[in-house]
Chain A
Amino acid sequence: EAGVVQSPRYKIIEKKQPVAFWCNPISGHNTLYWYLQNLGQGPELLIRYENEEAVDDSQLPKDRFSAERLKGVDSTLKIQPAELGDSAVYLCASSTTDRGQTGELFFGEGSRLTVL
């Protein structure tokens, strides 16, 4: 079974430029998450989708960040314009609410963003 796939793995951009990250969750997983991980810190939730609906985006800085999950499968996270403080790893995760599932999150390898 394929895991969560993210791209790009690495991205270096100048400040004020736009950037986008893409995530393909595990097949059949209805819940998709975007987490921000700063260096030396634990993941922090940015947004959670149930199918195509964003059910928790309270931590998403909406002035510059946007996300979408069309058709309830793949998702993109966009930053425009990027700031120096956005340098971090952006992790995508998925999970399923099927009966018997524990709530385990399955993470991708992350997209490391460096803003110069």
Chain B
Amino acid sequence: GENVEQHPSTLSVQEGDSAVIKCTYSDSASNYFPWYKQELGKGPQLIIDIRSNVGEKKDQRIAVTLNKTAKHFSLHITETQPEDSAVYFCAASKGTGGFKTIFGAGTRLFVKA
């Protein structure tokens, strides 16, 4: 089955710097790669996603890149702010809607003011 590995497990940056989180997946049939942000005491919330027919996607300060050949994808956060501090999860799944989503172990991001 699918396996998703995520690095680093902890990331500390200064406010205004960029943060990069990297993930690899094992199942070449995976075609949907969402990123979730989880704040303390809350459930994960989708922040950005990308499909396998797209190499890069950007939404304001957040961007995701996908390399299907190497089976890895990355989250880039620019101009980090203290409110970006949270745990970020990458995930991989097949199809749309009701298919199994496999999560990485998470990256705890600290943004120091």
A contact set with B: CB distance below 8 Å:
4, 30-31, 40-45, 48, 50, 55-56, 91, 93, 95-98, 101-105, 107-110
Number of chain B residues whose Cβ lies closer than 8 Å to a Cβ of chain A: 28
Query: CA separation between A107 and B91, bound complex, in Å?
Result: 14
**Minimum CB distance partner of B42 in chain A:** A109
Query: CA separation between A44 and B41, bound complex, in Å?
Result: 17
Query: CA separation between A103 and B99, bound complex, in Å?
Result: 8
Query: CA separation between A93 and B44, bound complex, in Å?
Result: 10
B contact set with A: CB distance below 8 Å:
4, 6, 32, 34, 36, 41-46, 49, 51, 89, 91, 93, 95-106
Give 19 CB contacts A-B under 8 Å: A41-B105, A42-B89, A42-B103, A43-B103, A45-B100, A91-B44, A93-B43, A96-B97, A98-B97, A101-B96, A102-B96, A103-B32, A103-B49, A103-B93, A103-B96, A104-B46, A105-B44, A108-B43, A109-B41
Query: CA separation between A55 and B99, bound complex, in Å?
Result: 10
Among B32, B96, B105, point to the contact of A42 (Cβ < 8 A): B105
**Cβ contacts under 8 Å, B42 to chain A:** 109-110
**Cβ contacts under 8 Å, A50 to chain B:** 98
**Cβ contacts under 8 Å, A110 to chain B:** 42-43
Are the C-beta atoms of B100 and A43 separated by less than 8 Å?
no
Query: CA separation between A41 and B97, bound complex, in Å?
Result: 23
Quick one: which of B44, B93, B95, B99 has the most chain A CB within 10 A?
B44
**Minimum CB distance partner of B43 in chain A:** A107
Are the C-beta atoms of B96 and A43 separated by less than 8 Å?
no
User: Separation in Å of the A75 CB from the closest CB of chain B?
Assistant: 14
Are the C-beta atoms of B46 and A30 separated by less than 8 Å?
no
Quick one: which of B44, B45, B96, B97 has the most chain A CB within 10 A?
B97
